[in-house]
Every structure is written in C-alpha cells, then in structure tokens.
Structure 1
Amino acid sequence: MTEQPTWRSSSYSDNGGQCVEVAPSRAATTGNVPVRDSKNPTGPVLTVTAAAFTHIVNGLTSDAFDR
C-alpha cells in the first residue's frame, strides 16, 4: 500500500484558496515533492525533485523571480 501524502499550504496562503499545496514529507522517502492546486485537490499533481523544490522556494523567498 502506498502512503498517502500529507498536504500543507503556506501559512501566508490566506487569500481565499488561491494557492498551491505541497507534500514535503514525501521527499524523505521518494526524493520528490508533490504539488497540487488547492482549489482542485482531486485534480492532477505535479511532482518535482526535492532539489528543484528547494530552488523554487529559495527563488520565491529571495524575490529572484521578480522582474
């Protein structure tokens, strides 16, 4: 039986549900982080490597994606 991911969203995501959810606990066992749209929890899941997820979070927190 495959363990179900434990989904969470950012504590900053109090914007009426317009956010993504992640299951970072899966990184320890699979090396990947599942990501989904919080408005569609039964919809598709994007899976990124733990390293890619770290780069995404670092880029977002350092405003590296701002133009």
Structure 2
Amino acid sequence: MMELENGTAQDFRRSSFCNPDGGCVEVARGTRGAAVRDAKNPAGAVLVFTEEEWTAFVRGVRAREFD
C-alpha cells in the first residue's frame, strides 16, 4: 500500500453531494496521491491511487467520461 503523507482518518473528506445516510466515498489527498474509502465503513478497505492515476480519474470526471 502506498503511504500518504498525513493520511490519517481526519484527512478523509466527503463530497457535499453525499446523501445523509453516508452513501458515498471519502477521499484523502497526500503528496503522493489519493486514498478512497467507503463512508459507511471507514475501518474497511482503502483504495490508494498514485498522483498520476488520480489526476487521470479527475480529468475523466470533469470531461463527463463516466456519465
């Protein structure tokens, strides 16, 4: 697993678009990339992406490639 600088639990943030019951993911950013986890299960699995992977994903979201 890639280590994120300051990648502690308080670094995870939810989108303002999440529904009230926690039906979303949380993201933590570090100098080496991003970590993503299920907001309903913060103690569960964490997916870690390099900076390049995360940048490509965000570009795709902004370009509406996943709609």
Higher helix share: 1
Question: What are the superposed Cα offsets for residues 17-67 of structure 1, whole Å, 9 maximum, x if unpaired?
Answer: 11110101x2x1xx121110011000010101111111112211221123x
Q: Which runs of 4+ in 1 moved over 4 A?
A: none
Decide which of 9, 12, 15 is 1:7's aligned counterpart: 12
Consecutive unaligned residues of structure 2, counting only runs of 5 or more, are none
Question: Normalization by structure 1: what TM-score?
Answer: 0.74
Partner of 1:61: 62
Q: Which has the higher contact order (CA 8 A, sep 6+)?
A: 2
Consecutive unaligned residues of structure 1, counting only runs of 5 or more, are none
Question: Normalization by structure 2: what TM-score?
Answer: 0.74
Alignment RMSD: 1.9
Higher strand share: 2
* Greater mean deviation of Cα atoms: 38-47 or 52-61: 52-61
